[in-house]
Structure 1
Amino acid sequence: MFNDRLAAANRLSKVAHQFYFFQSFLGIHNTCAQQPHYYFHHHAHTKHLDPSITKLVKDFILDKNDFLQKHIQTHGSLQHMPLLFQSDKKMVLEAVKKNGCALEFASEELRNDLQVVLTAIRQNGMSIQYASKSLRLDKDLVIEALKTAPQVITILIPELVQFYSNHTSKESLSSILELFIVHEPKVFKFLPSHLHDLIEPSRVLVRNGMLLKYFPRHVKKNYAHVMEAVSNHGLALKFASQKLRNTENVILAAIVNHDAALQYASDKFKSNEEFILYTMGFTRGRTFIHASEDLKKNISVINQALSYDGMLLQYVPDKSDLSIRDREIISAAIQACDSFETLQEIISLVTVKNPSLIWNDQDLQMDILMKAVEHISSSNIDLFNELSKNEAFLQKAIEKDSKWLAWYDMNSMSREQLKEMISKYGLKEFSEKYINYTSDYDLVMHAITTNGGHNLQYASESLRSNLEIVNAAIENDASTIRFCGKTILGNNEIMKRVIEKEPQYFIYGDATQLLSNKEMVLFILQEFKAKKYHPTMDSVLIKLLEGLSEELRNDEDVATLCADIRSGLSLHYFSPHIRSNLHVMSHAIANDPFSVQFIPENSELRNNFEFMMRVVSLSGQLLCYASKELQDHAELVFQACKSCSNALEFASLRLRNDFNLVLKVVQLECNTFNSVLAFASKELQNNKEIVLNAIQRNPRAYLEASEKLQADEQVAMETVSQNGIFLYFMPESIRNNLEVVLRAVENDPWSYAFVTSDSIRNHEQVIKIVGLELIEKIDRYDQDEVFRMRYLALYD
């Protein structure tokens, strides 16, 4: 079908003298694009093509559009397409999806089409150069292009400079360039050098320190800018001034970011042993690579480096007294190996430099063998059996890991020798191979008293229920209760001894018996209290609370003790009756006022004036848990607001509209993120006396005032006197009021950014207060940026 005809046409193209006409028949040349059939007949007769060829090509022309569409989808090429295709949005979109630079051959209309241009840019940022001029100057499109092709700025910069020079100030050109750099720091290196002075170095260097290379000398000498650069990319130290490459703080900041930065530090630091040893601590020894040659021959420096990474052995000089041949160095490298593969690399490295060294040193061979065994699976029994035949190896292996005792013949030992081994290594390694030892009272008791109570777990079932054995184990380590027999776990006296040592170990006892026994539960809780309960014990105490019997969940003594230990949070596990108990809840709020949240909603305790007065005195916000009646009690509400002025939020509507109460509350307020005025009634938010009093304590109250008062000059004046940045929130009429503006810039000169009237911005008094230098800096930012910097910084 179509593909068959395409293959045939490709074969035809090999006929050299007909190739040009074949291309013409396909309509690829624009000159014949609109009338391909006429062009075909004309050349077919004049050049006398073979009839079979002409028929095939004529049939092919019928599928010309399909062929071209397929060509565009496959190659994204528009260069030799008919004008009809270069003006077809669907075809052009297909092309630029495959090849963004195909935009060059799209029609003028489509090169001004946002969708087409954006699609092209996302495929290849360089394609923005082919967009219409208006779109080439669109900052959002430029930013999108810079993401994939920062170098395109070199093509766009002449137009950008001309545009911003003609339409805006020099500062606007600076801000637009900084905007591009924020999104793609590499843009900076493609800017002409005469534009570098427009850019604040910090904006660039904190994003790409390596761009320090392109800054003038005075920036490379600036401590702050160089610190920003090396903190972002340590290797930027290469471009710092000689003086700063000899400054310890700068070098350390660079090395923290990239250990190879040491190579650009001055020789003074490369040869400073104390400095190199210190930096190796946080670079895993990597600064050894760039240390001076003398330090690389220093045995203490070498050993310290190899303790971090054995592969650093390759950087030890070959020809020195402390060279690669030094056994101590090689041994340190072997000990630092963290995998079998690294060990193999170390052995290869040593063997290449001195082939006979390893094979002539039995101690070194043993080091290698021991390190190799660490990384060999213990399931390889045959290998371990073979290794255990070597007495010297076995002795050394046991010293490193007691698991090798399993390959040691204990039957050949005397009783005293056996006890000595058990004292040193415990029962663990004997418990399977020499099971009779685990039933030997004398050996088990000896293991527990000399090697630790944990050996109880390797004793036989009968000995784990033996009172003398268990008492000895618990005396040594209370946690060994978890290895005891079931009969022991139900013994209250044994459990009390354990709980006295570590109350959390009650979990290993018989839970059903323990947690239904009031005496034992109170004993456990008293021990928790005596041991000064810490939140890390939460999970254990929760298990106790979850396991309590129904009877104890309704017990006042248990609940009171829980409230004393874990605050009111523990009351969640008790009955509503207990959570309404005045005595219990008084203990709870003394420990944690927020325990009041666990009082049932219908409980009379929420309507108890004296109790709730104690609660809100501790935390005013807890007024929300008081009854509706108490939320309408002026004395209680004011007491809550004295603790936290925002408690007014939970007062009744009547009290939120009470002039005297609200006035007293706003006078209590401190400068916080929220203003209590937000919780006053709409009527009082429109009361000038209330609003002015609120603003004097917290300028944010301005935001809660009615629109009428926000446009009031006296209210505005009071607000900017407190914080000039609030000019940002004020209506146009206020921002164009000279007196208000003067008061605002006196409080904070940055509020100049929010002045919209040119006459006020250029007013002599305003300029005098703010200063031309700061005005120039402020104008680099838009109003929202200034607001975020100055206002949010105060409240974050």
Structure 2
Amino acid sequence: MITNTTDINPNSDVFPLLSTSPEILGKISSWLSTEEVCALNRTNKALHNLITSSDRFMKEVVKGSWKALILSSSELRRNPALQRQVFKSYNAAKRNLKANSIGVPTDIYLDSSANLFRIPFFRKDKEVVLAAVVGKFGGYLLQEASEKLRSDKEVVLAAVKHDGRALAHASKELQSDKEVVLAAITQDGSAFWEASKELQEDDEELILAAVTYDALAFNNASEKLRGDKEVVLAAVRRNGSALQGASEELQDDKEVVLAAVTQNGRALAHASKELQDDKEVVLAAVTQNGRALAHASKELQGNKAFVLAAVTQDGSALQFASKALQGDKEFVAEMVKWNGLRFTEFPEELRDDKEFVAEMVKRNALRFTELPEELRGDKEFAAEMIKRNALGLTELPEELQGDKAFVLAAVTQDGRALRYASKKLRGDKEDVLAAVTQDGRALRYASKKLRGDKEVVLAAVTQDGGALQYASKKLRGDKEVVLAAMTQDGSALLFASEALREDEEVVLATVTQDGSALLFASKALRGDKKVVAEIVKRNGRALEDASKALRADKEVALAAVTQWGKALAHASKELQDDKGVVLAAVMQDGKALAHASKELQDDKEVVLAAVMQDGKALAHASKELQGDKGVVLAAVMQDGKALAHASKELQGDKEVVLAAVTQGGRAFAFASKELQDDKGVVLAAVMQDGLALAHASAKLQGDKEVVLAAVTQDGKALGFASEDLQADPDVLEAAKISVSAANQTCCNNSL
């Protein structure tokens, strides 16, 4: 006996043996899922016959798999007994889900909604229909629902909110229900055409909602609404084309027409003849859509200003200009210049005017590919194209890409044009030499033979060292060629042969020009102390690419930081903690203190040396030394703005702040609030930099003596004075004199 679905094999002989007992076979099949029944239906002919013709069999099947009824014939789907059994099984499934707090997910009956709706009982179930109309097949399924449910407002609203066009399947009553129709139109404007005639003609709100999506909706409005100015204005502001449905009187109303063409220039087509000749209206129309010029009066189509406005918006609008303007060569040339007209947008008679087209090519207003075929083969046009844009060689016919005179002219202007020359000319030494002399990297497009020609390659690398990468293997190992490349671009060492990257003379010459080039030297040379020591003496930056052992070598590191203090960043941790090395670094560049060890950033001798070289190096000193008055004084005397890195206590020390603002007035911004209210300090600051007044206290910004000192130094400081003093005649005069003097100095300097 079969007791479990796992015992069932669709290809076994069980089903044929039991085919004489539909009830038993149906009971067995009821243990299967719908998907399994579907599989058997496809693979087992005997079962397929039972599914499509046996009500006894199907009655048992739907007890366990109620959805299986969709597989049966239309006659069985209409069988009342089967439908009652489906209804029982369906409700049992829902109760089971609810009992387990799962709810009733739509996929219980909607995984194949269109098929399930073929079972009449489903069309009458409101819960099923509600879920269906917002499911996979949307509002379309409303047409499958029962007549009663197509008259149910809740169901229809759900359908049209998902698919406005579902309104077509609603009852007549609901097609006249404003709430339902508005929801449908909001989802899909075309639903307007499914609304009742009364709503289409007389409901202002619905008509306006529909007009947003379809201007023709306004044509259906009643004569009263189409003649109501407020309604028409609202309509054309949403969709200018709605003007076509307005009354003749309103099509002649300037306010209405202006609103329409501002929204959609082409609405001008529906304006009265008088307004099609109105300059304000036509200008608004062609500014919105250049092609609206087609509907302007003949007079305005011949007006240069209006045609210019139209063509500026859309180049193709030139076709609607008067014949006289289309034939005006200078006017069309201006259109090409300012609006980039394409050749196809030229008036037809000018497209055939060889002299005019030639002039446009000369003005670089046309691409060669835009020209008609007969002109593209004309050498005169091609020559003009190449003069303007050498890379235009790519647009020339093949025969011209193989013309030596053309190619030579192109590569002389832009070496990259060699790429588009014929294979033969890419092997022509004269053409290639001209190309690489203009752009060394054009060597990549030369023939293999010429990439191995020393004269050609030398010319290329002299112009751009990086061109060495395109030279033959032999020439990348030629010392003269490589040295020439290195002289132009040190990083070209990357492309030299391994032997030359190990050549001391080549590497020394290269790294002197570009410290980072050591990176491309051989590993052996980067670890050669004699070579690296000599290199870092010339360019300290090279220490970064030295071997790890040499970055830890004191002699090498000292040579590097003496040449470039910040090379300390690439020294070993041990040397960043070596006082002798660090002192040498900060004496060359105070900011190298940033790379010293924490211990040496707290060493007063080291920090003093750093801030005396660059006051802002104070930023890298320890907190303790940022609070040391002697160190801070040394820093601010070198650079007043170093005050920004002093301790709060010293930013409030009058002696320190005075020293800072005397060196640079803008250091005053970092003084304490108390000192920003100290007249003596403020005076010292503004006398050095008038704009320091911006950081003075409000009280001192209102002190005439302070403000006069500030504006005398820089007239622009007037903007930071109090309102009263900004209107003071003495202050204004002093500021005026200061600004005048500054402008005179500027003029003298420019001379």
- TM-score norm. by structure 2 comes to 0.52
Q: How much does 1:193 deviate?
A: 5.5
Paired with 1:488 and 1:225, the residues of 2 have a C-alpha distance of 77
Q: How much does 1:76 deviate?
A: 1.9
Q: Please say if residues 269 and 275 of structure 1, whose CA atoms lie closer than 8 Å, have aligned partners that are also in contact.
A: no
1:54-90 Cα distance to aligned partner (Å, 9 max, x none) = xxx9994444425876875646265686542233123
1:697 paired residue number = none
2:523 paired residue number = 435
- Whether 1:254 and 2:352 are equivalent positions in the alignment is no
Aligned ranges 1:190-201 → 2 under 5 Å: 191=271, 194-200=274-280
- Whether 1:512 and 2:598 are equivalent positions in the alignment is yes
- Whether 1:89 and 2:206 are equivalent positions in the alignment is no
Give 3-state SS (helix, strand or coil) of 1:271's partner: helix
Aligned ranges 1:109-120 → 2 under 5 Å: 116-120=206-210
Which of 158, 162, 169 lines up with 2:248 in the alignment?
158
1:311-332 Cα distance to aligned partner (Å, 9 max, x none) = x555203444855998769999
Paired with 2:602 and 2:522, the residues of 1 have a C-alpha distance of 42
- Whether 1:458 and 2:545 are equivalent positions in the alignment is yes
Paired with 1:544 and 1:64, the residues of 2 have a C-alpha distance of 83
The one-letter amino acid of 1:578's match is L
Paired with 1:139 and 1:616, the residues of 2 have a C-alpha distance of 67
Q: How much does 1:96 deviate?
A: 1.3
2:570 paired residue number = 483
Paired with 2:531 and 2:327, the residues of 1 have a C-alpha distance of 72
Paired with 1:112 and 1:191, the residues of 2 have a C-alpha distance of 24
Which of 305, 316, 323 lines up with 2:396 in the alignment?
316
Paired with 1:259 and 1:485, the residues of 2 have a C-alpha distance of 67
**Residues 576 and 457 of structure 1: is their aligned pair in 2 closer, same or farther, counting only changes over 3 Å?**
closer
1:245-294 Cα distance to aligned partner (Å, 9 max, x none) = 45876543324x989989989866753599556x7xxxxxx834447745
Q: How much does 1:195 deviate?
A: 1.8
**Residues 83 and 246 of structure 1: is their aligned pair in 2 closer, same or farther, counting only changes over 3 Å?**
closer
**Residues 81 and 438 of structure 1: is their aligned pair in 2 closer, same or farther, counting only changes over 3 Å?**
closer
The one-letter amino acid of 2:278's match is L
Which of 562, 579, 582 lines up with 2:654 in the alignment?
582
Paired with 2:344 and 2:296, the residues of 1 have a C-alpha distance of 22
Paired with 1:446 and 1:640, the residues of 2 have a C-alpha distance of 53
Aligned ranges 1:208-223 → 2 under 5 Å: 208-209=289-290, 211=292
**Residues 442 and 76 of structure 1: is their aligned pair in 2 closer, same or farther, counting only changes over 3 Å?**
same
1:304-355 Cα distance to aligned partner (Å, 9 max, x none) = 7454xxxx555203444855998769999998599xxxx9xx7xxx9xxx8x
Give 3-state SS (helix, strand or coil) of 2:548's partner: coil
Aligned ranges 1:281-292 → 2 under 5 Å: 287-290=367-370
Paired with 1:369 and 1:314, the residues of 2 have a C-alpha distance of 18
- TM-score norm. by structure 1 comes to 0.50
**Residues 235 and 574 of structure 1: is their aligned pair in 2 closer, same or farther, counting only changes over 3 Å?**
farther
Paired with 1:389 and 1:615, the residues of 2 have a C-alpha distance of 62
**Residues 388 and 271 of structure 1: is their aligned pair in 2 closer, same or farther, counting only changes over 3 Å?**
closer
The one-letter amino acid of 2:186's match is K
- Whether 1:302 and 2:386 are equivalent positions in the alignment is yes
1:357-378 Cα distance to aligned partner (Å, 9 max, x none) = 69999999973899xx9xxxxx
Q: Please say if residues 528 and 565 of structure 1, whose CA atoms lie closer than 8 Å, have aligned partners that are also in contact.
A: yes
Paired with 1:191 and 1:626, the residues of 2 have a C-alpha distance of 64
The one-letter amino acid of 1:85's match is L
**Residues 70 and 203 of structure 1: is their aligned pair in 2 closer, same or farther, counting only changes over 3 Å?**
closer
Paired with 2:505 and 2:701, the residues of 1 have a C-alpha distance of 75
Paired with 2:645 and 2:569, the residues of 1 have a C-alpha distance of 26
2:234 paired residue number = 141
Aligned ranges 1:696-711 → 2 under 5 Å: none
1:550 paired residue number = 624
1:103 paired residue number = 192
**Residues 390 and 554 of structure 1: is their aligned pair in 2 closer, same or farther, counting only changes over 3 Å?**
closer
The one-letter amino acid of 1:456's match is L
The one-letter amino acid of 2:549's match is S
The one-letter amino acid of 2:545's match is Y
Q: Please say if residues 299 and 322 of structure 1, whose CA atoms lie closer than 8 Å, have aligned partners that are also in contact.
A: no
1:80-111 Cα distance to aligned partner (Å, 9 max, x none) = 86542233123212331344244353464686
1:127 paired residue number = 217
1:454-476 Cα distance to aligned partner (Å, 9 max, x none) = 44333223333456645665677
Paired with 2:574 and 2:549, the residues of 1 have a C-alpha distance of 11
Paired with 2:144 and 2:530, the residues of 1 have a C-alpha distance of 107
Aligned ranges 1:29-428 → 2 under 5 Å: 60-65=146-151, 74=163, 76=165, 82-104=171-193, 105-106=195-196, 108=198, 116-131=206-221, 132-133=225-226, 137-138=230-231, 141-142=234-235, 145-146=238-239, 150-156=240-246, 158-161=248-251, 164=253, 173=254, 177-188=257-268, 191=271, 194-200=274-280, 203=284, 207-209=288-290, 211=292, 232=313, 242-243=327-328, 245=330, 251-255=336-340, 270-271=357-358, 275-276=362-363, 287-290=367-370, 293=376, 294=378, 298=382, 301-302=385-386, 305=389, 307=391, 313=393, 315-320=395-400, 323=403, 367=445, 391=473, 410=498, 419-420=505-506, 423=509
User: Identity of counterpart residues, as a percentage?
Assistant: 15
**Residues 459 and 593 of structure 1: is their aligned pair in 2 closer, same or farther, counting only changes over 3 Å?**
closer
The one-letter amino acid of 1:127's match is A
2:100 paired residue number = none
Give 3-state SS (helix, strand or coil) of 2:624's partner: coil
**Residues 118 and 295 of structure 1: is their aligned pair in 2 closer, same or farther, counting only changes over 3 Å?**
farther
Give 3-state SS (helix, strand or coil) of 2:397's partner: coil
More RCO (CA 8 Å, sep 6+)? 1
Paired with 1:469 and 1:235, the residues of 2 have a C-alpha distance of 72
Between structure 1 and structure 2, the one with the greater Rg is 2
Q: Please say if residues 454 and 473 of structure 1, whose CA atoms lie closer than 8 Å, have aligned partners that are also in contact.
A: yes
**Residues 248 and 634 of structure 1: is their aligned pair in 2 closer, same or farther, counting only changes over 3 Å?**
same
**Structure 2: runs of 5 or more not aligned:** 1-65, 79-142, 433-441, 452-468, 733-751
**Structure 1: runs of 5 or more not aligned:** 13-56, 165-172, 280-285, 374-386, 530-540, 650-660, 671-796
1:752 paired residue number = none
Paired with 2:380 and 2:177, the residues of 1 have a C-alpha distance of 69
**Residues 296 and 316 of structure 1: is their aligned pair in 2 closer, same or farther, counting only changes over 3 Å?**
farther
Paired with 1:248 and 1:196, the residues of 2 have a C-alpha distance of 27
**194-203 or 320-329: bigger deviation:** 320-329
